[in-house]
Amino acid sequence: MKKSTKILLGFLFGIIALFWFYPFIIVIINALKGKRGIFQNPLWFTRDFTFSNFKTAYQALDFTSSFFNSLVITVASVIVITLVSAAAAYALSRVKGPFSSILYYLCAGTMLIPFQSIMIPLLSLFGKVNFLNRTSLVIMNTGLSVSLSIILFYGAFQGVSKTLDEAAALDGAYPFKTFVYIIFPAVSPMTGTVVILNAMKIWNDYLLPSLVVNKDGMYTIPLKMYSFFGETNSQWQLALAGLVLSMVPIIILFLLLQKQVMTSVTEGAIK
């Protein structure tokens, strides 16, 4: 390729990227303005410049509390999902038999069911026993995520040689010990994938939390953002500052773990 074409192409790609990134830019720019600045020109900076929206939005979103709710729910769910599905997948990969195949097909089959097709009975089931809180949300997140996680782990455990298990057994280790100390650590890249995929999904989820923990003191970030947006009444500067605050944690985390996140997402889709 000639050098001039190369530069031209680079320029073109740059423009496409800028265009793709512009929605983020426009949100940040207008979060730094007063109401008047947004009205004058929402497309770029105006002389109206302020940081005060962030403070107001932070308080209105009760951000400390929403952030910790989101964090606790996500971390708890991800831990339970990872342990439960890794254990099950290990047993499936080591013991072949009718029960294992049934379980495998159960996982593959339940992955087909859209959440919207079970949400009404699920809610009435938990509502009847008055069990709608952060704990039940963690239980539901687990139930909705173990199927895919088992299938992902299953693939990874298949790749770990059974001679490792046998060697451990000869040394007198019980299967539980073999699993915890030898086999589970051997699939840590897949554990990373399972953790990242589920964490992203649960952190961003709105529909299920809106049905289960839509009450004071239990709001997650997306829930609080939704109700805050309704209250701001087209005071866009506040809504946008709230959006920036809500996006910052996940974007920072992504920039730190970029490579791992992209590999995980690809693996989750292709498997």
Residues in the chain: 271
Q: What's the CA gap between 16 and 23, in Å, rounded?
A: 13
Of 150-169, binders to other proteins (CB under 8 A) are 150, 165-166, 169
Applying CB under 8 A, among 118, 180, 182, 257 the residue interacting with other proteins is: 118
222 forms part of the interface with other proteins (CB under 8 A): yes
Applying CB under 8 A, among 63, 197, 236, 241 the residue interacting with other proteins is: 236
- Count of residues that interact with other proteins, criterion CB under 8 A: 87
Applying CB under 8 A, among 60, 75, 119, 182 the residue interacting with other proteins is: 119
- Residue 187 Cβ, how far from other proteins at the closest point, in Å? 15
Applying CB under 8 A, among 7, 8, 120, 248 the residue interacting with other proteins is: 120
CA distances from 250 to 57, 64, 147, 207 (A): 18, 15, 25, 19
Q: What's the CA gap between 238 and 243, in Å, rounded?
A: 9
17 forms part of the interface with other proteins (CB under 8 A): yes
Applying CB under 8 A, among 32, 57, 78, 92 the residue interacting with other proteins is: 92
206 forms part of the interface with other proteins (CB under 8 A): yes
Applying CB under 8 A, among 53, 191, 198, 246 the residue interacting with other proteins is: 246
Applying CB under 8 A, among 8, 15, 248, 251 the residue interacting with other proteins is: 251
187 forms part of the interface with other proteins (CB under 8 A): no
53 forms part of the interface with other proteins (CB under 8 A): no
Helices (H), the chain: 3-31, 35-40, 52-60, 63-94, 98-110, 119-128, 134-158, 162-170, 175-178, 184-186, 188-204, 207-212, 221-232, 236-256, 258-270
122 forms part of the interface with other proteins (CB under 8 A): yes
Q: Are 183 and 90 in contact (CB under 8 A)?
A: yes
Q: What's the CA gap between 93 and 186, in Å, rounded?
A: 14
**Span near other proteins by CB under 8 A; candidates 50-58, 60-68, 71-79, 110-118:** 110-118
Query: For tokens 């004071």, what's the residue?
Result: 216
Answer left, alpha or beta for residue 125, where phi above 0 means left and psi between -120 and 50 means alpha: alpha
Q: What residue type is 212 in one-letter code?
A: V
205 forms part of the interface with other proteins (CB under 8 A): yes
174 forms part of the interface with other proteins (CB under 8 A): yes
Among positive and negative, which fits the CA dihedral 252, 253, 258, 262?
negative
Q: Which two tokens stand for residue 184?
A: 């589970």
84 forms part of the interface with other proteins (CB under 8 A): yes
Which one, 132 or 243, has the nearer CB to other proteins? 243
- Residue 40 Cβ, how far from other proteins at the closest point, in Å? 9
219 forms part of the interface with other proteins (CB under 8 A): no
Q: Which long-range contacts (CB under 8 A, 24 or more apart) does 10-15 make?
A: none
Applying CB under 8 A, among 60, 75, 79, 87 the residue interacting with other proteins is: 87
186 forms part of the interface with other proteins (CB under 8 A): no
Q: Which of 262, 269, 245, 250 is nearest to 55 (CA)?
A: 245
